[in-house]
Structure 1
Amino acid sequence: MSLIEKKNRLSHRALLPAGFKDQLPSMAAHESFIVHSIIERCEAYGYERIKPPLVEFEDSLFNGAGVSMRENSFRLMDPVSGKMMGIRADMTVQVARIATTRLAHLERPLRLCYSGEVLRVHPDNLNPDRELVQVGAELIGPNTVTADLEVIQIALDALKRLGTKNISIDITAPTLIPLILRSVGLDPASSLELRGALDRKDIKAVEGLAGKNAMLLGNIMTTVGAWEVGIKKLRELTLPIGVIEIIDRLENVASLISSESDIAEVTIDPIENRGFEYYSGIGFSFFSRGIRGELGRGGRYSLEDDSSQSSCGFSLYIETLLRALNEPTKKNRLLIPVNTNRKIIMDFQAAGWLTVIGLEDITDERKEAERLGCSHFLKNGQVETI
């Protein structure tokens, strides 16, 4: 076999499906560091870690809010039971299941955090990956501004601790537009084209689809942006009583976040619905200026079919954070000669060194250390720098 044929064969073996990739050492280490840092912050606030399975039966995975992920989930048949299963595309629905079943006996509020891989059939517009790492937390219990605020602040704290710069938050009210549509005699479920035009901020399409309600919806579209300006505009409109309550909640959260958190900008988007379809309260998304895509998102939703229980949570997107953050400073790697006393090696490790132990006698320690990617080497009991 020629060298070219060997290279082609190796390249074919390394070919992966679209949206999947191998995480090589440097990137895998950075990803692990980010996940550990986020979970550490959640645990510092009293959140306990859970670990749902990668695969579940369809009737549980696609129950309640999970129905929104059905078309974006890989599915397969269980050869043992003969039942259809789904590979999770979102861990939030699994947390909801665990909270309402295995942890139903625990007192509320219940604070849970999680991390793990999710698989999606279709990537989103800003990220071609179909295998994603999801890290987040859920506060299950009271439907209050205080609870909303706690969840948002934990996410912001985690982002800041990682070194994320120029963080902004966009707060949404996914229930506002459906309530307004119903108040003017339109069924949100049968107005999908209009909802799509609103999400796209396509004013001409809204004018063509909304008829006599075009002016009202157009005025609401102008409230998107800086939260103080947007709230003022919303207050000037004639809106149903139920919408006023939503605006009050939106203003409370936005003002508290703006006053208590050191972030670049707080904006509101009262009409945004994409990705927030199953939310029953506020939604929010985190961004970093100059970084493509969301750093994460979250909000409040009812647990499965039980509207009496709700949760507010967030998920941070590791793939976006990998683009937004500098790699952590690499630890010093020390090449240690073969047959070095074990206690010496353990002492170096306890002092923070990464140790690479030779497997055979070395004639040129410096050259070998450089070949193995070490920053230092041990020679005659002394640490030397390359």
Structure 2
Amino acid sequence: MTDGPSKTLLPDGLRDVLPPEATREATVMRGLIDRFRASAYRRVDPPLVEFEDSLLDGAGTATAPHTFRLMDPVSQRMMGVRADMTVQVARIATSRLIKAPRPLRLCYAGPVLRVRGSQLRPERQVTQAGCEIYGADQAEADAEIIAVAADALHAVGAKDLSVDLSLPTIVPAVFDDLGLDAKTRKDARLALDRKDAHDVAALGGEAATRLGALLDASGLARRALEKLNSIPLPPAAEAERARLARVMDLLEDAVPELALTVDPVEHRGFEYQTGLSFTLFAKGVRGELGRGGRYSAGSDGTTTEPATGFSLYLDSVLRAVPAAARPVTVYLPANTEPKQAAALRQAGWCTLSGLITVSDIKAEARRLDCTHYFDPAQGDAPCPLD
């Protein structure tokens, strides 16, 4: 007889979160949401599973390859487990809250599940937290959403933050202006994604000149903008360049400690974005803390409206946040009066009540990993363990 698979074995990319890490995650998440609410973002909580045709509609089509699907035994319709919460919040904004005053500010937090992880993020279940603004097309909305993300990250202890600003619509606009055929577009896109100046130069002609200049216009924000300003761009791309300049001015005023960089040719991960986009990083922390940008909410022709927002990834955020201090816990002997225990909790102490009488209170407190013990014979205040 052979043993079956271990009941503790979980699928790749999934894990149990144990104490004290689970408490730390909940504390950081609560801190993020509190900062979102401080800027008047109202929380929504969409379901974990939705019908496939609504979950993967509009901007949600970009999440289709990452979405788990299952059959609903009640309706006999296909459902999907959300791989991203942004598309769900957009659905709520353009349906349930369509009559709410604009600009509409919403925030959210919850787990998402993906078919497979990535090299940088192998986890398949991650927790997202984020904000969205609907019905505002101004550069001020773009700047606000970035500032709110930075404020929330600072509030939970993340330091040395930077934002990489991207313009994913500029390259397609230049492609159109140059009249490039499908094969040349594909070759150029691949070269730009690889940041391969040699292959861009190999395109030849005006394409090599203008796309090479765009590739070179990356790095520290002011230097990049100066180079962008020297490149002839079609009207649609000029508008995005002007938006970038305005957002930079607003951020430098609102969040002067935030480091800004620009990459005008980056588009990977921003496939459904319709304008200025961004990625959040912290110095010395692996992977991005979050990303966001401008997109169109809704897709039926009557509810489409401009939107911008961001999603933070809790696994990365936790790597940027200082480790939690050991929790201060008071051991209460089994004979402690309930009023005394309640008074300690009211004073802010975390109490752990003994269930049986023990001869050595201090030893029992140490065994249960407490930091203090309560001994009525020594007064009303908890005693620290030596």
CA–CA separation in structure 2 for the residues paired with 1:192 and 1:303: 28
Residues of 2 paired with 1:236 and 1:96: CA distance? Answer: 37
2:49 counterpart letter in structure 1: V
Contact in 1 for aligned 2:252/2:258 (Cα 8 Å): no
Residues 76-225 of structure 1 mapped to structure 2, 5 A cutoff:
76-186=70-180, 191-208=185-202, 212-225=206-219
Using the alignment, how far apart are the partners of 2:294 and 2:216 within structure 1? 24
Residue 316 of structure 2 aligns with an amino acid whose one-letter code is: T
Alignment of 1:1-386 (within 5 A): 12-186=6-180, 191-208=185-202, 212-305=206-299, 306=301, 308-380=304-376, 382=379, 383-386=382-385
For residues 202 and 96 of structure 1, the distance between their equivalents in structure 2, rounded to whole angstroms, comes to 36
Higher mean C-alpha displacement, 332-341 vs 286-295: 332-341
Deviation at 1:190, TM superposition (A): 8.4
Q: Is the 8 A contact 1:194 1:210 kept in 2?
A: no
Contact 2:94 2:304 (8 Å CA) reproduced: no
Q: State the shift of 1:235 in Å.
A: 1.2
- The alpha carbon displacement at 1:89 in A equals 0.4
Q: Which 4+ stretches in 1 moved above 6 angstroms?
A: 187-190
Confirm or deny: 8 A CA contact 1:112 1:137 kept in the other structure. yes
Describe the superposition over 1:7-65 as per-residue Cα deviations: whole angstroms up to 9, x where unpaired: x98x9222111111110111111111111001000111111111000001110000000
Letter in 1 for 2:355: L
Percentage of identical aligned residues: 43
Q: Work out the CA distance in 2 between the residues paired with 1:41 and 1:293.
A: 23
Q: What is the SS of the residue equivalent to 1:191?
A: helix
Q: Return the offset for 1:268.
A: 0.6
Question: Do 2:132 and 2:307's aligned partners in 1 also have CA atoms closer than 8 Å?
Answer: yes
Q: Distance in 1 between matches of 2:204 and 2:293?
A: 28
Question: For the structure 1 residues 231 and 371, does the alpha-carbon distance in structure 2 shift closer, same or farther, using more than 3 Å as the test?
Answer: same
Structure 1 residues 188, 91: CA separation in 2 closer, same or farther (over 3 Å shift)? Answer: farther
Partner-residue secondary structure (3-state), 2:108 = strand
**Following the alignment from structure 1 to structure 2, what is the Cα–Cα distance between the partners of residues 122 and 88?**
13
Per the normalisation by structure 2, the TM-score is: 0.93
Equivalent-residue separation in structure 2 for 1:332 and 1:21 (angstroms): 27
Question: RMSD of aligned C-alpha atoms?
Answer: 2.1
Query: Counterpart of 1:90 in structure 2: which amino acid?
Result: D
| Structure 2 stretches lacking a partner, 5+ long | none
How many residue pairs get aligned? The number is 380
Q: Is the 8 A contact 2:298 2:304 kept in 1?
A: no
